[in-house]
Amino acid sequence: QVQLEESGGGLVQAGGSLRLSCAASGRPLSNYLMGWFRQAPGKEREFVAAISRSGIFRYYADSVKGRFTISKDNAKNTGYLQINSLNPEDTAVYYCAATGRIGASGYYIDENEYEYWGQGTQVTVSS
């Protein structure tokens, strides 16, 4: 199976930016749809973004559209989430996930559809 490891989180001020990375090993990332989820304290895990196996198709939650950008480099076997214009509401643990499944339209927003998960990286945004 594929193993995933996130990095790039940290403490930033409101309006700042970070680039989160998701390094895959064991299998080519090109075999998987990749997603990002986040979980704030006391809240449920929520979908953030996803990218297709080819990298051509990208999907975003309404709350981050226009501010976050998902991408991948299959040659480096690494996915990325660029997070810009951050506000305190973006504070959360961010998780990278991947699935080899092909489901119905919109299946990528459901965390239960993902087979593989990283350990998460903390993003904290101060006001």
What per-residue confidence (pLDDT) applies to 104? 83
What per-residue confidence (pLDDT) applies to 69? 98
Coil, strand or helix at 98: strand
Is 102 a residue whose pLDDT tops 90?
no
CA proximity to 39, closest of 1, 118, 94, 85: 94
Of the pLDDT bands very low, low, confident and very high (cuts 50, 70, 90), residue 124 is very high
The backbone torsions φ and ψ at residue 31, rounded to the nearest 5 degrees and listed phi first, read: -85, -5
What per-residue confidence (pLDDT) applies to 114? 96
